[in-house]
Structure 1
Amino acid sequence: MAKKPLLEFTDRGIYCAQGKFYIDPWKPVDDAVITHAHADHAYVGHKHYLAHYLSKEVLLYRLGEIQLQTVAYGETVMKNGVAISLYPAGHVIGSAQIRVEYKGEVWVVSGDYKVEDDGISTPFEPVQCHHFISECTFGMPVYTWKPQVQIFEDINNWWRSNLHNGLATVLVGYSLGKAQRILQNLDLFNGKVYTHGVIENTNEALRRNGVILNPTERITQDSVKEEVRKGIIIAPPSSVGTPWMRKFGPYSFGYCSGWMAIRGAKRRRAADRGFILSDHADWDGLVSAIDATGCESVYLTHGYTATFARYLNGIGFDAHEVHTLYGGEEEAPSQPPPEGEELKETEEKIFEVSPTGGDLEGAGTTS
């Protein structure tokens, strides 16, 4: 009889029967291990939560009073003989990969991740394992990110141009992760950073957790429009096109997202500028991260799963698609954009991309 896998994919989430816990479950369960505090991974209704300690205050802000246990990276928690430990995912502050080990068998659940050091999240750390459960939100070769220093040079130059032309500057990014990354990497040459209430609530939660962020000022009914227009405004996607945003006009509106790599994305979001800035790994980052685990098999949970699995199998991995409810956070639609004209040409190039190589044999220890 075939050996039962340590982790299974169920209608409630990723389940460890031996340990009697779920990882990022989307239906109420008794025991949930959470990779990070985005809404598509951290749901309300579980009896007990385990997460990284830098996620604590954001989880409490988003989910209310919950029974929450927090740990540091590398700290081990035992559940029915199963060892659970968290390692940096580099996605947002407090994001973690979940390493699960039982009788020498090691699985790692990536959650969402990126491999570039963004200057505020703990940088991604590859973890050796037998089986790797990975996202592939941007698992198409058209998605290749420039170094973030180049993106922020573009953003700062755009801000200067707006000031010169008498325009307010409104920069949109989702409230957990993107907003703080923007805040910490801007050249604050012209004074204050003003924030939408949703973003400032998240900033305050992170500050309660001991995270040091650059100063911000919440926009309220008492804020003086002309003073706000002299700074830079960071706003969530939900504010686009609303009276809240229009009151700062005339303004130039920029949108930060990996989806800006696709022709037409800026137009669909009615943005004046689109900045390709994502908190997910690009094509090369996904391939290199998976290769670095030394895994025997990889399971792809959301994004371009069919395309990416086909590529991985073509270069010697044992890759599988699985159905989950991940991928609905503020940056991304629950499913990738349709593979229209802008993607058809990349399909032909997929099997021209060189694999990163590496030894896929060893597993069982962290690195």
Structure 2
Amino acid sequence: MDHALVSRMRELLPEMLADIEELVVCESPSADLAAVAASADVVSRVGEKRLGVAPERIVVAGRTHLRWAFGDGPSTVLVLGHHDTVWPLGSLATHPFTVVDGVMRGPGCFDMKAGVVMAMHAIAALPDRSGVTLLVTGDEEIGSPTSRDLIEEEARGRAAALVLEASADGGALKTERKGVSLYQVKVKGRAAHAGLEPERGVNATVELAHQVLAANGLADPALGTTVTPTVMSSGTTGNTVPAAGEFSVDVRAALVDEQLRVDAALHALAPVLPEAELEVVGVPNRPPLMASASSALFDHAAEVAAGLGLPPLTRVAVGGGSDGNFTAGVGTPTLDGLGAVGGGAHAAHEHVLVAELPGRAALVSALVAQLLDGGRSNSTNSPASDGAGRP
């Protein structure tokens, strides 16, 4: 039998869908500061409607983040999400917001505007919100350059960080994430006419080829370490020895030692061609989220889910990074992937399974309540079904 909280969230499903639509139809590509600011306005308005108070607006380098902190004492639980997306302005024209046959579609609905709305409704259902902080950032999709310090500050010393990123396949929670490092390898050569005197040039494309192979060779599949050269550019015209070029490198590592090994090796790369110059720019962006950071929280969440009458929770390790890597990196127990169930993040088939929204929101609400209570109560004493605590 469904727990009363799940039933209450089902009653609130039309409100959730309306809130998600409001967020999705305000496009918010990470690189567009004006779009992110406009999206923050919408998130703020929806959050104030559901939580009864306006958030604190934190603008860093022109980028807007939002924080709701409840209670006068220190925060115990950090609930974390982001409102920026990878979708460029105009995507709604080709990928409009729709809900058809129980499937929601629209740019950013799965990653992760549905999760932001779920977090709001989950917190609104709490009988006592004291000790909860909801942080919604605006630059996660580009590596959180302006929000990392804020996230780490909010997470440090907390009992738990709950990340409302979209779930893995089948609704699995993400209990391990690889660390992420991003680099640019830049080569400077010397231009020359490719037909008249190519020997006078220093060919940046050839140097890049050597460096691509060197970087690619740093991977260690046995340890789960991937080193992937990605975007590359070089040269100006088809009859000129290229004078400059560069390529990007995406590194994923399950172990901190591996992340540091690859970082040192990339920065130690040296030119192969005489007179070529080489520069490597980049550092580890996100530390690994290790299983040890999430195992106890997952077990607790599984008990809560059972108490709510929800299907058994599953877990998975993934290669993608999130802001949960930062919270785990400062030593805070972290559970990720608590958001929407669906699929197709960053892709044309991005979608959310509408029927799963109430149960996931109820799970988050009950889990937060348990964590605030120090684990002394059981899930049957979770937030009341009458909407207590809602504005």
Q: Using structure 2 for the length normalisation, give the TM-score.
A: 0.31
Larger relative contact order (Cα-Cα within 8 Å, sequence gap ≥ 6): 2
Which of structures 1 and 2 has the bigger CA Rg?
A: 2
Higher helix residue share: 2
Q: Using structure 1 for the length normalisation, give the TM-score.
A: 0.32
